[in-house]
Each structure stands twice: as C-alpha cells, then as structure tokens.
Amino acid sequence: MKLIGGKLDEDEGLQEHGFFYYPVRPTSFVVSDALDPDFPLIYVNSVFEAATGYRADEVLGRNCRFLQFRDPHAQRRHPLVDPMVVFEIRRCLEDGIEFQGELLNFRKDGTPLVNVLKLVPIHGDDGSMTHIIGIQLFSEANIDLNSVSYPVFKQQCYHRSSHHDVNATTYEESSKSDDSDFCGILQLSDEVLAHNILSRLTPRDVASMASVCTRMCELTKNEHLRKMVCQNAWGREVTVKLELSIKLSGWGRLARELTTLEAATWRKMTVAGRVEPSRCNFSACAVGNRLVLFGGEGINMQPMDDTFVLNLEAANPEWRRVKVSASPPGRWGHTLSWLNGSWLVVFGGCGQRGLLNDVFVLDLDAQQPTWREITGEGPPLPRSWHSSCTVDGSKLVVSGGCTDAGVLLSDTFLLDLTKEKPAWREIPSSWSPPSRLGHTMSVYGRTKILMFGGLAKSGSLRLRSCDAYTMDLDEDDPEWRQVATSGFPSIGPPPRLDHVAVSLPCGRIIIFGGSIAGLHSPSQLFLLDPAEEKPGWRILSVPGQPPKFAWGHSTCVVGGTRVLVLGGRTGEEWNLNELHELRLAS
Ligand SMILES: Cc1cc2nc3c(=O)[nH]c(=O)nc-3n(C[C@H](O)[C@H](O)[C@H](O)COP(=O)(O)O)c2cc1C
C-alpha cells in the first residue's frame, strides 16, 4: 500500500484485497513506536483526529486501545469489542506481522464506529520492528449499545463480510435483513467460541472450568485468554502493573497465586544506604517500583522535611536522599500518596508551628524535582493522624484525624488534582463512621474505599476500633456504610490503630500490625474481600521471616505483588531501616 502526502494513494480506487481494500476517501492513519513495549502513538493524521474526536495532543504517547473504551474515563474496553479480534491484534504485534480486521471503536463522545483496521510493521536495517503504521477506515455503527448484547458485533460482522458488503452496512440494516435462520455465532469454531465465553469469566471460574476435563484445561491454557480474564477481574491499570511480574510465571499461575495466596512468603530485605537522621511517624508510599519516604518526627520531636527514594528495580537497591529545590515545611503524622505516573502528594500533619492542612505535590521523574504547593479552595481543618488515599490515580481523599484541640474528626474531603484550579469538596454522607484517628483507607474496585480501625470515639470514650466501612465514590451521592462481616467476630482482626492496610490487585485487603490491646500478635495477617456479598475475615498464615513486633509500620505495594513493610517502633526502639517483604507471587 502506498502512502502519499498523508493520504492513501487514491488512484488505486476501491479494490478489494480479501478483507481489506483501498479506499477512495481520505484515510485516517497513525504511527506507533514499536521499540516501546506498549506501542505508544507518535503520529496521528488530521483525518484520525476528525474521525475519532481525539486531538493529537490528547493521544500521542498513548496506546491506541483507548478507541475500544466507550469514554475517555472508562477503565476497560467496551464489552461489545470483540476480544478475539483484540487477541489477534496482539498476536500479530508480538509476531511482528501484518494485521487486518474489523472491530468496534468509539469516538471521544462515545459514538460507536466500525473500524476496518490494518497494521503494517516497519522493520529497521537489522530486521527489528521499529514502527507500526495503523490505517483506519471508520464508518458509522448504528447500534443501540443498550439493547444489543455480546457477541452481536461478531455475529453481524460475519454476516456482513459473508456478503462482501464493504460499504459499512449499518447494524440495524444487517440485523433486519434476509437469512433469518443464519446465526453467525454458530459459524465460529468451538475453540473461538469457548475462548469468547471463557474470556468473560473471573480467574476463579476459569480455574474451575479447567478442572472439568482435559479439553477444557487445554483451552484455558491460552496466555491471551488468561490476561483478558485477569483484566476483567482486576482492571487494566492493575494488569499493566502486573505485566512486570508475569515474565516468569505467566498469567495463569499469577492469577492462581493472587487468588489463593498459596505462594505468599515473608522475607527480610537488605538494601544499601540508610534513611538518616533517624525518625518515626514518617509517611511512605510506592511510586511504581520505587519506595518513597517523606518527613517524620526526628530526635527531640524535630519535624523532618526530607524525601528519600529506594529504587527496587536497581540491581543493588539503595536508599538515596532526593535533591529537591524546595520542600514542604517539616512534619510528622501526615500522609504521602502516589498520584498518576510519577507524582506524589503530601497532606497535613504536625509541623513546627502546629497542625497543617496544606497540600504539596512532587514529580519524582522531573529533572529537578521540586515540591509545589497546591492551594485548593475550602481546605479541611488542619489535622494529623488522619488517613488518605488516591482514587482514580488523581483524586486525593482525606478522612478523620485529630485537630489542634485534640478533637477527633469524622469528615471526608476530596481534592481532584486533575483540575487546573483544584478545590476541596467535602463528601456529604448522611451518616459517617464515628470520628477517629490512626485508621487506614484502602482503595479497591477503582473507586471504592475501605476504612478500617483507628482510635475511635465511642460515647465519652476513645477506644481502638475493628470496624470496617466502605464508600463508593462512583455513586451519585456517595455514602459511608458499615461492612457487616459474616462468620465469627473473633476471627476478624482485633481492634487497633496505627496499623497498615494493603489493597491486593484482586480487590482484597490485608490488615496488618498496629497498636493492639491485649496479647494479640500484630504480625498476624487478616484478609477481607469487601466486594463479596457477605464479606468474611480470613486469617492468612504466611511462612518466612515477618517484621518484628511493632506498630506504626508503613506499607506499600510495589509492582502489584510485593508488599513492602518498613519502619515501625516498639516502646523503646525505632526500626527505621528494617525492610521486610511480603511476596504474594512466586
Ligand atoms: C499503530 C497501531 C494502531 C492501532 N490502531 C487501533 C485502532 O484504530 N483501533 C483499535 O481498536 N486498536 C488499534 N490498535 C491496537 C491497540 O493499540 C492494541 O494493540 C490492541 O488493543 C491489543 O492490545 P491490548 O490487548 O493490550 O489492548 C492499534 C495498534 C497499533 C500498534
């Protein structure tokens, strides 16, 4: 195929070459960098922009799969996008061969489009694939997305191509037309059909199907299918993170190990460098494969303002102090959270002159990392020992904590950091959990938060809590709801504060450590799946060398399968430079 001045050679006219043909109208085309693992777009022409509604600056640097998502904020491809065509694209890209086929795409405004797509690999002198050209022929797809169900797209697509009708027959038209006993789906091979069905299931269901018979077991061994199943259950963001961990094990094994946690082990990690001077009450979080620590309470209650990084991808990981050109005021009892990409956000805590309610962000990958203050309108009261998390990669949620006057708080605030001028918004819930400090908030299912434990107000007293509450920020009017756990209450984690909570890729949450009343061991791990209809706590026994008896640890999940635990203190001792890893997959 010849490309002339950004358009396909029109002299060729409308010829069919099997499934693909040379069009007479201006054609959309894009170019991707094939040396990057996720094929980011490096060029899109103006026909692509006009046809899809996406401007070049919105899509360059991204993989073109966003066209399979119904709106720019959707987290997964639309269910009517044929997974087998997507498998086929992946296979061709992996093998470095041409692809041509047809699939459902969406304009930026959500309008469905039929895309007759051709992908052509370009090879360098040494034979390696350097670029891929994508040529798209978009046409209207007049389907009512609310009334059709999977696999209507495939069925219609077969129907149409069997008539070689390349002139974009609408779906309504083709579904009304002749051949009433023609059923496209029955023309699929058993294998394709089985893969189509299996790719809609959860990892647990696919594992059960695999145990039915040898043939089913064979069918479930397809790596693309396995990835699809993981992506259905855990979302795209999580599978992208996990991609790093699957090289040795494969998706099937990873799905099993993360579901059963059979391979989980504790180990002590030794890394070079130290976080100095010594401190407690700092805050840490993971940024991709890096562990970042900010601030803390030094000797003589000195509020610290330094930032340290431990790169776990390095051959010999070492704690390094980040050279920043400006720092937030020193503090402890604050929170540090990871935003999209390489950004961090610090909120609140206790500084030299009392409690704070300021927000600072830092891009860890900037050439000269600089903490920048974000002055959001209507901030929450200054506080420390609150809890925070980030939802959707960009919204900071803060709840509870303690004011200067020692009053415990029960409010929940949200700051959308994607906005040009971020403004704080209190989430008005008709009912709120009792006010508290030292609790945890973990995100699961992309937009849902689980609050657990802390020192909570109970009548005129303050008692350690073991209650769990959830809120879904995707709801029109988000509400806090107490989680009514099933099973014996004695199996659940004993009341505690200053503990840690870890969100696993599959949406379950592990509670660990903290200051616990009585003789209970803080090293015991408790597991909850808040998405279950009747969630029940499970105790997780993990072999290996767990962290010492202590409270006030910090935990972060690195690469989706490595839970790192650092710091913590016993009555007399700060274990600042002790690092343990709970490895979830082998
Ligand atoms: C150059 C290029 C252009 C592409 N154009 C499209 C497109 O127009 N529509 C689409 O749905 N997918 C397109 N793709 C395919 C997706 O980007 C992606 O490779 C596919 O969804 C399979 O990968 P996934 O399973 O990780 O999503 C294109 C890929 C490349 C490399």
From 14-23, 350-359, 500-509, the region with the lowest mean pLDDT: 14-23
| Predicted local distance difference test score (pLDDT) of residue 307 | 97
Q: Can you give the three-state secondary structure of 309-363, one letter per residue? A: EEECCCCCCEEEECCCCCCCCCCECCEEEECCCCEEEEEEEEECCEEEEEEEEEE
Q: Element (H or E) spanning 425, and its range?
A: strand 424-426
Percent of the chain at pLDDT exceeding 70:
83
The dihedral sign for the CA sequence 250, 255, 260, 266: positive
| Predicted local distance difference test score (pLDDT) of residue 189 | 64
| Predicted local distance difference test score (pLDDT) of residue 76 | 74
Cα(505)–Cα(46) distance, integer angstroms: 39
Cis check for the bond before 277: say yes or no (omega within 30 of 0). yes
Among 440, 473, 494, where does a domain finish? 494
Cis check for the bond before 151: say yes or no (omega within 30 of 0). yes
218 shares a domain with 356: no
pLDDT, greater one: 269 or 235: 269
**Residue at 354 is within a domain:** yes
344 shares a domain with 462: yes
Among 455, 473, 494, where does a domain finish? 494
Q: What type of residue is 77?
A: R
281 shares a domain with 256: no
CA–CA distance from 278 to each of 295, 459, 476, 567, 573 (Å)? 11, 38, 45, 10, 11
Interval between CA 88 and ligand 1 midpoint (Å): 10
Check if 44 has its Cβ closer than 6 Å to any atom of ligand 1: no
Among 86, 105, 140, where does a domain finish? 140
pLDDT for 454 beyond 70: yes
Cβ burial, residue 376 (10 Å; 0-12/13-18/19+): buried
Q: How confident is the model at residue 155 (pLDDT cuts 50, 70, 90)?
A: very low
Sequence-distant (6+) residues with CB within 8 A of 481 are 469, 470, 471
Sequence-distant (6+) residues with CB within 8 A of 109 are 53
pLDDT for 266 beyond 90: yes
Q: What type of residue is 131?
A: H
| Predicted local distance difference test score (pLDDT) of residue 119 | 95
CA 157 centroid distance within chain: 32
Sequence-distant (6+) residues with CB within 8 A of 306 are 294, 295, 321, 322, 327
From 5-9, 306-310, 413-417, the region with the lowest mean pLDDT: 5-9
Percent of the chain at pLDDT exceeding 90:
46
Q: How confident is the model at residue 470 (pLDDT cuts 50, 70, 90)?
A: very high
Q: 């690092």: which residue's tokens? A: 579
pLDDT for 47 beyond 70: yes
120 shares a domain with 91: yes
pLDDT for 570 beyond 80: no
Q: Cα(first)–Cα(last) distance of the chain, in Å?
A: 47
**Contact call for residues 104 and 80 (beta carbons, < 8 A):** yes
Sequence-distant (6+) residues with CB within 8 A of 533 are none
Q: Phi/psi at 82 (nearest 5 deg)? A: -65, 115
- pLDDT one-digit tens code per residue, 164-205: 333 333 333 333 333 333 334 444 567 777 887 888 888 878
Average pLDDT over residues 422-437: 94
Check if 30 has its Cβ closer than 6 Å to any atom of ligand 1: yes
Highest mean pLDDT among 16-30, 250-264, 282-296, 480-494 belongs to 282-296
Residue 165 in tokens:
């009708």
From 241-245, 440-444, 485-489, 562-566, the region with the lowest mean pLDDT: 485-489
pLDDT for 534 beyond 50: yes
Interval between CA 19 and ligand 1 midpoint (Å): 18
pLDDT for 440 beyond 70: yes
**Residue at 16 is within a domain:** no
207 shares a domain with 97: no
- pLDDT one-digit tens code per residue, 84-101: 899 899 999 989 999 999
Cα(461)–Cα(479) distance, integer angstroms: 25
| Predicted local distance difference test score (pLDDT) of residue 220 | 87
Cα(26)–Cα(6) distance, integer angstroms: 9
What CATH number is attached to the domain comprising 49? 3.30.450.20
CA 351 centroid distance within chain: 32
328 shares a domain with 214: no
pLDDT for 251 beyond 70: yes
Check if 220 has its Cβ closer than 6 Å to any atom of ligand 1: no
pLDDT for 148 beyond 90: no
282 shares a domain with 252: no
**pTM of this structure:** 0.65
**Residue at 559 is within a domain:** no
Identify the domain containing residue 233 by its residue range.
Answer: 203-260
| Predicted local distance difference test score (pLDDT) of residue 153 | 40
pLDDT for 19 beyond 70: no
Interval between CA 210 and ligand 1 midpoint (Å): 29
**Residue at 580 is within a domain:** no
Q: Which of 308, 356, 309 is nearest to 331 (CA)?
A: 356
Cα(584)–Cα(586) distance, integer angstroms: 7
Q: How confident is the model at residue 499 (pLDDT cuts 50, 70, 90)?
A: confident
**Residue at 179 is within a domain:** no
Q: Phi/psi at 245 (nearest 5 deg)? A: -90, -10
| Predicted local distance difference test score (pLDDT) of residue 15 | 40
Average pLDDT over residues 302-328: 93
Cα(432)–Cα(411) distance, integer angstroms: 7
Interval between CA 97 and ligand 1 midpoint (Å): 14
Determine the angle formed by the axes of helices 223-234 and 83-95, rounding to 10 degrees: 120
Interval between CA 63 and ligand 1 midpoint (Å): 7
Average pLDDT over residues 116-143: 90
Probe ligand 1: pick from 100, 117, 225, 242, max atoms within 8 Å of CB?
Answer: 117
Interval between CA 64 and ligand 1 midpoint (Å): 5
306 shares a domain with 396: yes
Nearest CA to ligand 1 atom 8: 136
**Residue at 505 is within a domain:** no
Residue 166 in tokens:
């390349």
From 72-76, 375-379, 436-440, 462-466, the region with the lowest mean pLDDT: 72-76
Provide the 10 A C-beta neighbour count for residue 383. 27
**Residue at 586 is within a domain:** no
Interval between CA 86 and ligand 1 midpoint (Å): 8
| Predicted local distance difference test score (pLDDT) of residue 184 | 44
281 shares a domain with 254: no
394 shares a domain with 302: yes
pLDDT for 160 beyond 60: no
Cα(373)–Cα(297) distance, integer angstroms: 21
DSSP state at residue 54:
-
| Predicted local distance difference test score (pLDDT) of residue 156 | 38
- What average pLDDT is seen over the chain? 82
430 shares a domain with 291: yes
118 shares a domain with 53: yes
Number of structural domains the chain divides into = 3
Check if 32 has its Cβ closer than 6 Å to any atom of ligand 1: yes
Nearest CA to ligand 1 atom 10: 65
Interval between CA 89 and ligand 1 midpoint (Å): 7
Nearest CA to ligand 1 atom 22: 90
Cα(450)–Cα(500) distance, integer angstroms: 12
Sequence-distant (6+) residues with CB within 8 A of 322 are 292, 306, 307, 308, 309, 364, 369
| Predicted local distance difference test score (pLDDT) of residue 203 | 81
Cα torsion 455, 335, 419, 379 to 10°: value is 60
**Residue at 509 is within a domain:** no
pLDDT for 132 beyond 60: yes
Cα(268)–Cα(545) distance, integer angstroms: 6
Average pLDDT over residues 400-426: 94
Check if 116 has its Cβ closer than 6 Å to any atom of ligand 1: no
Beta bridge partners of 139: 114
